Amino acid sequence: MRSFVSFIEERFLFSRAKPSLELWELQSTVDGLCPQLKTAKLILRATTKAFTSDQSRNSASWKLVQLAVKTTASVSKSIEKHGGRIKLSSTISNLGDTLIKIQRLAMEEPSAMFPSDDWNIRQSRLIEELTEILESFEALEHSSDNKDDHRREQATKPVQNGYSYTESSRHPPSNMQDQRNEHTNTESISTGASHFAGAKNVRISGGSFNNILGNYIKTEIIQQERTIEGIVEGSRVLTIEDVSLDHEVFKGQGYRFYSGFSNGKVVAMKVYQGRRARERAMIAAEFSQKIMHPNIPQMIGVSPRNSGLSFLVFDGDYECVADHILEHALRSGLDQSLTFGLRTVVGLSSALDYLNDMDYPLGSVGLDHFVVLSCRGNIVVHFEPEEAAKVSPVSGGKSPETALQIFHSLCQRVFDGAAKTHYENEHVSRTSDEYEVYTEQWNEFLAGYGQSDQRFHSHQDDAEPAEESEPTQPPNYRPELVWHPRRGDHTSLEQIARQFQRSLNEHTRWSKLSLERRQGRTSMRTPHRCLGYGRMEITLTPDIKRSAIVSHETPNPREICSICKEVVQEREVFKCACGKPDDGSRTVKCAICNNYQHRRCALPHLTPGSRVSDFACRRCKLDPRLSPDVARNQFQRAFGKEYLKENGLFERNRAGGYAGFIGPPGTDVSFFEEMLRTVPDHTAPPEVDSDDDEALGLPLPKISTFIIIP
């Protein structure tokens, strides 16, 4: 009968999710743990199995589990090497307790984009526990190695002058036999106060003597570390072996930025490339030594001077550029979008204000050299200080105005970068002045994040025909962040950072931040207004009191409409058959002439069961009264040139003076067949309404006969 533990293990580890190479490698490492870590193996196998999807393996918990597996694997190697000579029971027990805590924390990771402060604190404590456990095993390993070395040394050391002083005795032996017996049972580390306690008439000349109690590090190792020089003085020197890379965060101009591990901590590594890699790394290291700010990367190590690779090591868990994190936040809804928008403004304004107070020549750094990163949800500004080092104090390059301009540009770039997937060629185009022309203020937010306030659509509802039976479709509002610096606003970076930090605390800790809700209008009118489209712009300004959440039902130029998936053109034509102008209501585009119509005018002419995207206006429904040239042109639009080339209907018919008619499948053509037999040449079709012709703007050509083209 299978044991109860095996039964539970099979049930607990069962999973149908698609595995990955990364997950297989991690599970293979767990399976290779030594037998003494059976409990740890079971816990880690169960924990890794829980991370089944690609999304879950991008979370913070996954990195913590990876670190736990790597730490346990190092402990396993230590046990296999020295397991028989060191006491391990208590340390292994501590490891098991820590792994259980990690498993629970991983299962409790919140679904929100940014975990709570309590969750982050617990994660940091568990990382510290893993580091302490690994250090304790390394200490036991060093202790065991030192004992073995000392035993071998004592076994080969001759007895001189008839005396051999042992660590287990404070007095010299009385005879040679006792000396040899005690020498055989000696220990390598003294537990007494001195090697020479109680000794008399002892003369020592020459040599170096050390009295060491407990664990120690060999002096030759310390001496070796002291000989390694870094690319700059005053910083910790790390070799390539000290850092384990995990993934690439981004590629800069002449360098790459990675995330990895070093001594049980998550770090970032900036590796320089190119001819002047060493020189540029030295300039950046000297600059980073003078910087201490939470929104600027904190350097904790540099590469050796004699290394073939020049790199800097920074503290922190960097996920990716801020644009990508913000893009995910926008998909999560309004609350997460507003939170990250406030964090972005706080981080950028605080970092640039700090650099400006240091009299750093920000104007000498090209805007393309600035990279805005996300480090555990915290906004960090990174740039390459190489060009700034070439600026002399006389040439300047620093001023509050310059820092403020860079701040505005970075805010707009980050916010636009998060929304670029919704625009053609990923280039956000905002040419309207929506914020300046708001006319109405919402008293209540759009109920349910998608229910539009009917007050703003009264002009549409009044115009809808009574027989319209199409169900109403509330807009599906897509959140978008907009940075809008107002003209003449000279709010300083310090003031911006202070008031936005206060608003962020209010929004995340105490209560939800209340911003004005407004209905926006677009100065560059575009008739593209698909039913169901909606855009919610979180418009932030340097003065937080002027910020607002603005609702739009008209897309921006070059935007990919979320309803019809077409690119909105900057100049589109509205020409409805009713003859009335665009009144801001919902519209439908003709599939043939691409002109927009009132939706209320188009719906009655749709064929039952057809799609709105197949709508053809009254002008483009081919009519027997059209001249051959007009009919041929519309024939090409409706069926394409290939059909015309293959059949050649209009080529032949035009020579005979015929006009044509094209109708959709199922069109009743009996009326036209009757006209073919009865209508004489050079006359207009019967029952022609002159008023209708004027509305349609159609000519009444002289035609010889009709031909039916189904």
Q: What is the predicted pLDDT for the residue at 286?
A: 92
* Exposed / middle / buried, residue 284 (Cβ in 10 Å: 0-12, 13-18, 19+): buried
Domain boundaries, the chain: 12-144, 240-422, 628-709
Spatial contact of 374 and 404, defined as CB atoms under 8 Å apart: no
Lowest mean pLDDT: which of 202-206, 523-527, 606-610?
A: 202-206
68-96 per-position pLDDT tens digit? 888 888 888 878 776 555 566 777 788 88
Report in angstroms the alpha-carbon separations of 35 from 2, 6, 41, 110.
Answer: 19, 15, 9, 34
Spatial contact of 438 and 520, defined as CB atoms under 8 Å apart: yes
Spatial CA neighbour of 540 closest among 341, 295, 300, 334: 341
Count of Cβ atoms closer than 10 Å to residue 664 Cβ: 13
Q: What is the predicted pLDDT for the residue at 31?
A: 85
The larger pLDDT score, comparing residue 195 to residue 374, is at 374
Q: Which residue has the tokens 């009335």?
A: 580
Q: What is the predicted pLDDT for the residue at 570?
A: 78
| Separation of alpha carbons 202 and 204, rounded Å | 7
Spatial contact of 69 and 32, defined as CB atoms under 8 Å apart: no
Spatial contact of 608 and 470, defined as CB atoms under 8 Å apart: no
Partners of 481 in beta bridges: 538
Token representation of residue 90: 């208590």
Q: What is the predicted pLDDT for the residue at 509?
A: 77
How many CA atoms lie within 13 Å of 49's alpha carbon, on the beta-carbon side? 15
Q: What is the predicted pLDDT for the residue at 296?
A: 94
Element (H, E) at 249: strand 244-251
Burial 330-359 (b: 16+ CB within 10 A, else e): bebebbbbbbbbbbbbbbbbbbbbbbbeee
Element (H, E) at 230: none
Report in angstroms the alpha-carbon separations of 534 from 329, 551, 599.
Answer: 18, 7, 17
pLDDT-based confidence at residue 699 (cuts at 50, 70, 90): very low
Spatial contact of 367 and 344, defined as CB atoms under 8 Å apart: no
643-681 per-position pLDDT tens digit? 444 444 433 333 344 444 444 444 455 544 554 444 444
Residue 552 sits at φ, ψ, to 5 deg, of: -130, 140
- The percentage of residues in the chain with a pLDDT greater than 90, rounded to a whole number, is 15
Please state the rounded mean pLDDT for residues 511-532: 75
| Separation of alpha carbons 47 and 631, rounded Å | 70
175-221 per-position pLDDT tens digit? 444 444 444 444 344 444 455 555 556 566 555 555 555 555 554 44
Residue 467, pLDDT > 60, answer: no
Partners of 440 in beta bridges: 519
| Separation of alpha carbons 82 and 88, rounded Å | 10
What proportions of the chain, in percent to the nearest 5, are helix, strand and coil? 45, 15, 40
| CATH of the domain spanning 240-422, picked from 1.20.140.10, 1.10.260.40, 1.10.510.10, 1.10.287.110 | 1.10.510.10
The larger pLDDT score, comparing residue 169 to residue 350, is at 350
Cα dihedral value 563, 434, 596, 606, nearest 10:
40
DSSP E strand boundaries for 493-637: 516-519, 533-540, 548-552, 587-589, 596-598
Token representation of residue 416: 């636009």
* Region for 646 from its dihedrals, namely left if φ exceeds 0, alpha if ψ lies in -120 to 50, beta otherwise: alpha
Residue 369, pLDDT > 60, answer: yes
Spatial contact of 568 and 556, defined as CB atoms under 8 Å apart: yes
Q: What is the predicted pLDDT for the residue at 684?
A: 37
Please state the rounded mean pLDDT for residues 30-37: 84
Q: Which residue has the tokens 């020479």?
A: 196
Which strands make up the sheet holding 440-442, listed edge to edge?
Answer: 440-442, 516-519, 548-552, 533-540, 476-483
Annotate 270-324 with DSSP letters as a single string: EEE-STTHHHHHHHHHHHHTT---TTS-EEEEE-BTT-SS-EEEEES-EEEEHHH
* Mutual angle of helices 117-156 and 89-107, in 10-degree steps: 160
pLDDT-based confidence at residue 566 (cuts at 50, 70, 90): confident
The larger pLDDT score, comparing residue 499 to residue 176, is at 499
Please state the rounded mean pLDDT for residues 251-271: 91
Token representation of residue 322: 């801020």
Q: Is 615 helix (H, G, I), strand (E, B) or coil?
A: coil
Q: Which residue has the tokens 């000392």?
A: 150
Spatial CA neighbour of 551 closest among 599, 516, 593: 516
For residue 574, what are the contacts with CB-CB under 8 A and spacing of at least 6? Answer: 527, 581, 582, 587, 595, 596, 597
